[in-house]
Structure 1
Amino acid sequence: GLAVVRPADANETAAAWLAALAGRGPVGLALARQALPVLPTPAADVRAGVARGAYVVTDAQETPDVVLLASGSEVAVALAAREQLAGRDIRARVVSVPCLEWFTEQDAQYRDFVVPPSAAARVVVEAGTSFGWHGLLGAHGQAVTVDDFGTSAPPDDAMAAVGITVDAVVGAAVASLSSARS
């Protein structure tokens, strides 16, 4: 019954704390150890989105070609990957998923709004195991995750060592799109 929340920035951390105080049961906050940029999302949207477990941080102008799902510090990586994908004319939606447990509790209408079924190309970016994410990935999704343990280094070095980079996310997005289109 433990809900694990990985906030992406200071606003998500405050929103997670408020949601935890609302009596949702046991909550563990997993905070980053490095400085993180503040997401380009209005604070009210962040509070509402964190309380629901996931929300759209930034969207494509049209229907997205690919959905990038991330939590914690990896949301910043997904946002940077979105910029590179835009340079390739690939429309990407970035979704912050601070709490999978809370997101899966939401009704299908909200889950489908955040992660549209029509967007079969999906990438999960998580500095943790891929376990639990496969329900969101679908048949064509790609996981840029860490399924082993033991890397210790300064944050940027550790992320590069385990393969959580902008280039890896862009590559996974292209592979997912290719799979979805075939």
Structure 2
Amino acid sequence: TKAGTNKAHGSPLGAEEIAGARKFFNWESPPFEIPADILDAWRAVGAGGAKARADWEGRLAKAEPTLKAEFERRLAGKLPSNFDAVIADYKKKLSADKPKVATRKSSEMALEVINGAVPETIGGSADLTGSNNTKTSQTKNITPDDYGQRYVHYGIREHGMAAAINGLTLHGGLIAYGGTFLCFSDYARPSMRLASLMGIRSIFVMTHDSIGLGEDGPTHQPVEHLAALRAIPNHNVFRPADAVETAECWQIALESEKTPSTLALTRQNLPTVRTEHSQKNLSSQGAYELAAANGEAVVTIFATGSEVEIALGARDLLEKHGHPTRVVSVPCFELFDQQSDDYRAKTIGNAKVKVAIEAGIRQGWDHLIGTDGIFVGMHGFGASGSIEQLYPHFGITAEAAAKAVETRLHGK
């Protein structure tokens, strides 16, 4: 037979293999006939299941109306009716307080609000809870003695964690998220891809999203990972620039019932760049003008995440030199691609020089800046060093971006 060979994996088994299996298992019943003793056993199991189902439906029918409605809301995958108002109030507070924190901390702050308002969330991390900031006051640990809590310690099992998140999501009644480092998305990617293929609301929290993580060096510094994840169809990859955008990206992730989300978050502190409150979720547009030019724009700078701060610094330098410059924050490529042609054209604009700043590779950026656009980012792997050393070393600074623009404008 084909037992013990690769032929059992990739080719039809055929009559000879069926005969071999019959001999091995001493199976004498004709094809498609189930012996009576086996059939009786299965029917007994089915009867027990039917009774359990009837008992459960009876309990549900007798449940207090508010409890029943809450159960049905969760099972339908709908968010609490006050969810948008809760997020709007939280955003207003952030715009007033202007916290300077890492977006992984911004994510924890947003989750503290979300987990309080949305009781069906269930979090976790692949042995990096303290680094991913995925645990909040509401999410107590699930243990062998208590499965009624809301936080899973998955261990160093990124692929297993992502698969479990998918399973929890498919079960219904729960909104599952889990964290690891962005570089380790490579281990989780098969399950992340399946979440996209299945069209489900799995949420992946990926921190330490660039060379900004520092001394761990190039083994831990993601370079190609944003581009790789953006290549997955039906997958929203968010890279928020501050606490406000982080809250907005979480809101979109929870509202996206048919699309999984990845949040790429920083280790380093970032200032609040969205200082004026907007009731509208601007991140839902994928990209939007954050800072206008003083006059008709000659330069447009696109940036994501931690590099938005750098883009704003470059804008200030260029404006001082008489070059009207606007900055566009791009928290999500995928959502921007879904906008109307008019909105996309207006947001991209027709400035003479287009620049993209991101601490990753260029791949994917040409659809915004064109093949002749200036890219300020990574062109290879990172290095071990402090963030203060690495960003200047790789030329990802406001000064370097402004110099590249000046060179282009002056035709040098």
Distance 1:124 1:177 in 2: 16
C-alpha contact (below 8 Å) 2:294/2:325 kept by paired residues: no
Distance 1:156 1:101, change over 3 A: farther
Residue aligning to 2:260: 26
Q: 1-side partners of 2:387 and 2:253: how far apart?
A: 27
Q: TM-score when scaled to structure 2?
A: 0.41
Among 69, 73, 79, the alignment partner of 2:312 is 79
Aligned ranges 1:7-156 → 2 under 5 Å? 7-23=240-256, 25-44=259-278, 48-116=281-349, 118-156=350-388
1:120–1:141: 8 Å Cα contact kept in structure 2? no
CA distance in 2: counterparts of 1:28 and 1:59, whole angstroms: 29
TM norm structure 1:
0.90
1:18 & 1:177 partners in 2: Cα distance?
A: 40
Is the Cα contact below 8 Å between 1:86 and 1:92 reproduced in 2?
A: yes
The alpha carbon displacement at 1:93 in A equals 0.3
3-state SS of 1:43 partner: coil
- Note if contact 1:123-1:172 (Cα within 8 Å) is conserved in structure 2: no
Q: Which has the larger radius of gyration?
A: 2
Q: Determine the C-alpha separation between the residues in 2 that align with 1:60 and 1:123.
A: 14
Percentage of matched positions with identical amino acids: 38
Q: Is the 8 A contact 2:356 2:365 kept in 1?
A: yes
The equivalent residue for 1:173 is 405
Q: Is the 8 A contact 2:355 2:375 kept in 1?
A: yes
Question: Which amino acid in 1 is paired with 2:369?
Answer: L
4+ residue segments displaced more than 3 Å: 175-179
Q: Which has the higher helix share?
A: 2
Size of the aligned set, in residue pairs, is: 178
Cα deviations across residues 84-134 of structure 1 (Å, max 9, x unaligned)?
Answer: 101110010011011111111111111112111x21310000000100001
Give the Cα separation in 2 of the matches to 1:92 and 1:113.
15
Partners in 2 of 1:177 and 1:111 — Cα distance?
25
| Bigger shift: residues 33-42 or 9-18 | 33-42
Once residues 39 and 161 of structure 1 are traced to their aligned partners in structure 2, the CA distance between those partners, rounded to angstroms, is 25
Instruction: Report Cα offsets for 1:121-167 as digits up to 9, x if no partner.
Output: 10000000100001111254100011212323322322122110111
Deviates more, 1:4-13 or 1:23-32: 23-32
Q: Which runs of 5+ in 2 are unaligned?
A: 1-233
Name whichever of 140-149 and 65-74 sits farther off: 140-149
The 3 A distance-change label for structure 1 pair 81 and 69 is: same
